[in-house]
A and B are shown apart, each in its own frame.
Chain A
Amino acid sequence: MFKTGYILTPKHDLVWFLGLPFLAVALALGFQAWLPYVAVASINLWITIPHHYAGWVRSYGMPDVWDRFKDRLIIGPVVIIGFTVMGLQFAPISLLLLVTAWDHQHSIMQQHGLARIYDFKAGAGLKQTRRYDLALHCVLYSYMFLNAPMFKFLWIRELHRMRVPLSVPFVDSLLMVSQIVLVGYVLVYLWHVWRTHQEGAIINPVKYAFIFASYFLWYFVAWNTNSILLHAVAHRLMHGVQYIVMVYSFMRKSQEKGTFRVGFWSKLTGPGHLRWFLAGGVVYAVLFQLVINRPLDEFGFGVVNFAPYPAIEEFGVPAMDYASGYALFSQMMIYAYGLMHYYLDSFIWKVTDKQTQTGL
Chain B
Amino acid sequence: MALAPDNTPWYRRFRMLFIVYLLGLFFGGREFLIARSGTEVDPGSEEWSRMAEVIAELNPADADTDFLLAMEALQEGDEVGYIEHMETALGKGVKHNNFLLAEYAHHLIRIQAPFENIDVALNTWRKNHQLSFEIVTLPLGRGPSSQQDYDAIRRELDALDWIYKWELQEPAAEASQWLLLFQFEPAKEAVIRDVTEAISILGLPPEVRSRLRVRCTSWTDCQSQAR
A75 interface residue (CB < 8 Å to B): yes
Residues of B within 8 A of A232 (CB): 96
Q: Tell whether, in the assembled complex, residue B93 and residue A163 are in contact, meaning their CB atoms are under 8 Å apart.
A: no
Q: Which residues of B contact A227 (CB under 8 A)?
A: 63, 93-96
* B21 proximal to A (CB < 8 A): yes
- Given known contacts A94-B27, A98-B20, is B62 in contact with A226 (CB within 8 Å)? yes
With a cutoff of 8 Å between Cβ atoms, the chain B residues found around residue A162 in the complex are 27, 30-31, 34, 41
With both chains docked as a complex, state the minimum distance between the C-beta of A106 and any C-beta of chain B, in angstroms: 11
A68 and B95 contact, Cβ closer than 8 Å, known pairs A160-B41, A311-B161, A321-B164: no
- Whole-angstrom distance between the alpha carbons of A149 and B62 in the complex? 7
Contact A229 B39 (CB under 8 A): no
> Which residues of chain A (67-101) have a CB below 8 Å from chain B?
67-69, 71-72, 75-76, 79-80, 83, 86-87, 90-95, 97-98, 101
In chain B, positions 1-38 with a C-beta closer than 8 Å to chain A are: 1-6, 13-14, 17, 20-21, 23-24, 27-32, 34-35
Nearest-CB residue, chain B, relative to A93 = B31
Min C-beta distance of B32 to chain A, whole Å: 5
Question: Are B1 and A91 in touch, CB under 8 angstroms?
Answer: no
| A165-B35 Cα distance, complex, nearest whole Å | 17
Residue of A nearest to B23 (CB): A98
Contacts of B34 in A (CB 8 A): 162-163
Q: Which chain B residues lie closer than 8 Å to A93 at the CB level? A: 31
- Contact pick for A226, options B24, B54, B94, CB 8 Å: B94
- Distance in angstroms between the alpha carbons of A180 and B14 in the assembled complex: 35
Do the beta carbons of A91 and B32 come within 8 Å of each other? yes
Mask of A196-238 contacts with B, CB within 8 angstroms, 1/0? 0000000000000000000000000000001111001000000
Quick one: given A64-B3, A152-B59, A168-B54, are A94 and B31 in contact (CB under 8 Å)?
yes
A40 / chain B contacts, CB cutoff of 8 Å: 96
Distance in angstroms from A255 CB to nearest chain B CB is 12
Residues B88-131 near A (CB distance < 8 A): 92-96, 98, 127-131
Given that A98-B23, A227-B93 are contacting pairs, would A305 and B186 also be in contact in the complex, using a CB cutoff of 8 Å?
yes
Q: A38-B131, A157-B51, A298-B131 are in contact. Are A322 and B186 (CB under 8 A)?
A: yes
Q: Is the C-beta of B187 less than 8 angstroms from some C-beta in chain A?
A: yes
Q: Is the CB of B17 within 8 A of A79?
A: yes
The residue that B95 contacts in the complex, of A36, A149, A298, with Cβ under 8 A, is A36
Q: With an 8 A cutoff between CB atoms, is B185 at the interface?
A: yes
Known pairs A91-B29, A305-B186, A307-B187; A161 contacts B128 (CB<8 A): no
Q: Is A171 an interface residue (CB 8 A)?
A: yes
In the complex, are the beta carbons of A37 and B27 less than 8 A apart?
Answer: no
Q: Does B188 contact A (CB under 8 A)?
A: yes
Q: Nearest-CB distance from A324 to chain B (Å)?
A: 10
Interface presence of A191 (CB below 8 A):
no
Interface size for chain B: under 10, 10 to 19, 20 to 34, or 35 or more residues? 35 or more
Taking a contact as CB atoms under 8 Å apart, the answer to whether A37 and B24 are in contact is: no
Name A's interface SS.
helix
Cα-based distance from A95 to B36 in the complex (angstroms): 17
User: Are A258 and B1 also in contact (CB < 8 A) when A156-B51, A161-B40 are?
Assistant: yes
Residue of B nearest to A82 (CB): B21
How far apart are the CA atoms of A321 and B23 in the complex, in Å? 46
Query: Out of A98, A165, A168, which one reaches B24, CB within 8 Å?
Result: A98
Contact of B17 among A76, A94, A97, A302 (CB under 8 A): A76
Q: Name the one of B48, B54, B92 contacting A166, with C-beta atoms under 8 angstroms.
A: B54
Which chain B residues border A319 with CB–CB below 8 Å? 161
- What's the nearest-Cβ distance from chain A to residue B8, in Å? 10
Distance in angstroms between the alpha carbons of A68 and B47 in the assembled complex: 51
Are B14 and A37 in contact, CB atoms less than 8 angstroms apart?
A: no
Please state if B96 and A228 are interface contacts (CB–CB under 8 Å).
Answer: yes
Complexed CA–CA distance, A149 and B58 (Å): 8
| A residues in contact with B57, CB < 8 Å | 168
In whole angstroms, how far apart are the Cα atoms of A319 and B162 in the complex? 10
- The reply to whether B41 and A161 form a contact with Cβ atoms under 8 Å apart is yes
- Contact A68/B20 with A37-B128, A87-B28, A226-B93 known, Cβ cut-off 8 Å: no
Q: In this assembly, does B64 line the interface, its C-beta being within 8 Å of a C-beta of chain A?
A: yes
Nearest-neighbour CB distance to chain A for B157, whole angstroms, equals 12
Cα distance A229–B92 when bound, in Å?
Answer: 13
| Residue pair B55, A153 in contact (C-beta under 8 Å) | yes
Of residues 248 to 288 in A, which have CB atoms within 8 Å of B's CB atoms? Answer: 258-261
Chain B's closest residue to A159 (CB) is B51
State the CA gap A145–B222 with chains docked (Å).
54
Residues of B within 8 A of A (CB): 1-6, 13-14, 17, 20-21, 23-24, 27-32, 34-35, 39-42, 47-48, 50-51, 54-55, 57-59, 61-65, 92-96, 98, 127-131, 158, 161, 164-165, 185-188
The 10 closest A-B pairs by CB, nearest first: A91-B28, A160-B51, A37-B128, A226-B63, A94-B28, A94-B27, A305-B187, A226-B92, A91-B31, A37-B95
Pick 16 A–B contacts, CB within 8 A, sort by A. A37-B129, A90-B31, A91-B31, A91-B35, A92-B31, A94-B30, A153-B62, A160-B48, A163-B30, A165-B50, A226-B63, A227-B95, A227-B96, A229-B95, A297-B130, A298-B131
A101-B23, A165-B50 are known contacts; what are 5 more A-B pairs with Cβ within 8 Å?
A36-B128, A64-B2, A91-B28, A91-B35, A149-B59
